[in-house]
Amino acid sequence: MAGLFDTFTIGKRGLNVNQSAINTTSHNIANANTQGYSRQRSVIETTRPFGGMSKFDTSGPGQVGTGAEVTTIQRIRDYFIDYQVRNENGKLGNYNVESNFLSEVEGVFGEPSDTGIQNLFAQFYSSFQEVAKTPEKSSARTVALQKATAIADALNHTYAQLEKKVTDAQELLQDNVKNVNSYLDQINELNKQISSVTAVGQTPNDLMDKRDNLLDKISNMFGITVERADKEAINLKAEGFQATGNVINNLVNSDPSNDKYTRLSYIKAAEVETTGTPPVATNKIKIEYYPLGNTSSATKTIEVTAASAAEAKDMADSLIQNRILIGNKDGVISDASGTEITATTADEINKKLFKIDGVNKNGTTAINSVDPKNIKGEIAGNQSAQDMIKSYMKDLDKIAASLAYSVNAIQTGSTTTGSSAANGVTYKMLFINSSASTQTDEGIGAKTITVNSDILNDVSLLNCEANSTTSGERDGKRAQAIADLLTKKFNISNIQDDVGSLDRSTFFAQSGAALTDGVNITQSNDGKTIDQYYKDMISKLGTQSEEATNRTDTERDSILKDLEDQRQSVSGVSLDEEMTNLIQFQHAYQASAKVISTVDELLDVVINGLKK
């Protein structure tokens, strides 16, 4: 049977076990406020007992305990909760970006307000009503021209502000690229350290906490898939990516020796190449990109060949909007063999485009793209926000075109390009395209609409009459027809999105309106007034912004908060619990010390007391 020295060993083991438990508890208390820290616990197990299984064993009637030992320091973590948190974290990243941009777009329009476009429309129509009453007064015409200038300037300014928001989203994508690559490099390095520590039988709990914290951050950028491997290492992929022969899927590899992994690069520019004079678009695109998004490094170039000039334009637009390419570990766009790509096709470069919407330029699922049901992260938000902003830019273009073409038709007495009015007097168009080399309203939009400077310099060129000469009787009927546009309906939604290729005759064909008697507009059988179309657009923006805000608030304050609370209840440090454990282990340590002290006294009796 066990002797005093065995009991002494049990006491010593008790000291070691409880010392380890106190150390672990102290570590928990010290990191109670450390972000991403997971509570740790000393796993205490009994050591192998004395005594055999045979009845002939002479050591005693049964097995005799030999104490306890700490087998490992366990990290308390629930991987399923981690998965749920990261899944919802990705959604929040997307919702938050969309909500912020929609809120900013609302600020750009600033409706309702005294200086908003809606009020300027009302002032514009009202000013022409006054001209109709007193067409002979140059002062009334001057006021009308001022109102026309005000609304043109407001459309120009609003459109420019929306363009700036699109640029902001693209610049944020550049920040996303840098952050993602930084997180991936840190995770990759931690992966190596964790594998090395685990290989020698230790538990790198704090390193795994740091890695999990980085995984949380990167899940806010886009959806991720974490595959756990041997030695606590992980494989990390972008969620939904499919395996292909020429796309490296892993962002982080579990095998430290495998350097075949993916990083992201940022597209600086993507332009359709032209030829000849005047320049004509070709089917080739020149892409300039920063490897790893590092703007301090030299750019690299890829020439892309599309099937047609039209496809090249669509591809260039897609590249500029999405801005992110999938490269090798150095951010260089390469093929399956690792050779840098300097020339390729549109289909092949589309496979290298990091698109979160899951749909390529042909409307089919891209080889490396994410399932559209799982749109997550700030990258998705910055890409989709551009679409939302551009939809309002298109609406603004249609509003500007509707205003310009309808007013110019009344002003010139023609639904085709020209300036000869039905009254036989040559009058100029009120609104013209500021980007055109000649005086025309073709291709006019919110960015380019401006008041004809000739009319501003000579108010008599503002055609206000139906049947008169510039020096004859002024009846004000054309001015009244312009004022009546307030109530005239146009099928504005039917107008083509690309107003740059629109002209006056095409506008009237698409809008369903017509010019009768060379003066008055006959409205479309359906559709809306220009003013109402604008109001509906603002109403849609308000609803969309409110819904985005509600989604963000629900995701952050309800769904994600509940999951974070669950994770905290499992992995978080409770100071009350740790204090209780500290007292428990302290008493156990003291008891083990008492065992050693008692054995010491007994040994003294045996060794020294038997001399007598």
DSSP string, 102-129: HHHHHHHH--SSTTSHHHHHHHHHHHHH
pLDDT for res 372? 38
Looking at residue 464, what is its pLDDT? 85
Which pLDDT value is given to residue 325?
Answer: 92
The SS3 assignment for 573 reads coil
Amino acid symbol at 567: R
| Secondary structure letter of residue 497 according to DSSP | S
Task: Tell me the C-alpha distance between 83 and 103, whole Å.
Answer: 30
d(CA 218, CA 353): 19
Q: Which residue has the higher pLDDT, 43 or 336?
A: 43
- Over residues 267-296, the mean pLDDT reads 93
Tell me: pLDDT of 543 over 60: yes
515 close to 524: Cβ distance less than 8 angstroms: no
In this prediction the pTM is: 0.86
223 and 238 Cβ atoms separated by less than 8 Å: yes
Pairing of strands 449-451, 431-433: antiparallel
The pLDDT assigned to 49 comes to 85
Q: Dihedrals φ, ψ of 343, to 5°?
A: -150, 135
Tokens of 77: 């973590």
How would you class 71 by CB atoms within 10 Å of its CB: exposed for 0-12, middle for 13-18, buried for 19 or more? exposed
Q: How many C-beta neighbours within 10 Å does residue 229 have?
A: 13
Q: Angle, nearest 10°, between helix axes 79-109 and 560-571?
A: 150
Do residues 424 and 465 lie in contact, with contact meaning Cβ atoms separated by under 8 Å?
no
Model confidence over 350-369: pLDDT tens digits? 888 887 654 333 333 333 43
Mean residue pLDDT of the chain comes to 88
Most confident of 149-158, 353-362, 417-426, 602-611: 149-158
pLDDT tens for 494-506 read 999 999 999 999 9
Q: Going by C-beta distance under 8 Å and a sequence separation of 6 or more, which residues neighbour residue 345?
A: 304, 305, 306
Percentage of the chain lying above the pLDDT 90 cut:
72
Q: Is the pLDDT of residue 520 over 60?
A: yes
Which of 35-39, 70-74, 372-376, 518-522 has the lowest average pLDDT? 372-376
What is the SS3 assignment for 516?
strand
Strand 343-345 relative to strand 300-305, pairing: parallel
State the pLDDT confidence band at 516, using cuts at 50, 70 and 90.
Answer: confident
The mean per-residue pLDDT over the stretch 39-46 comes to 95
pLDDT of 155-192, one tens digit each? 999 999 999 999 999 999 999 999 999 999 999 999 99
Provide the residue count of the chain.
612
User: Which is it for strands 250-252 and 234-238: parallel, antiparallel or unpaired?
Assistant: antiparallel
Cβ atoms of 350 and 357 closer than 8 Å: no
Q: Which DSSP string do the residues of 198-254 spell out, in sequence order?
A: HHTT---HHHHHHHHHHHHHHHTTS-EEEEE-GGG-EEEEETTPPP-SS---EEE-S
The pLDDT of residue 1 is above 60: no
Residue 115 has pLDDT above 90, yes or no: no
CA angle in degrees (0–180, nearest 5) for 9-14-19: 130
Share of residues in the chain with pLDDT > 70 (%) = 89
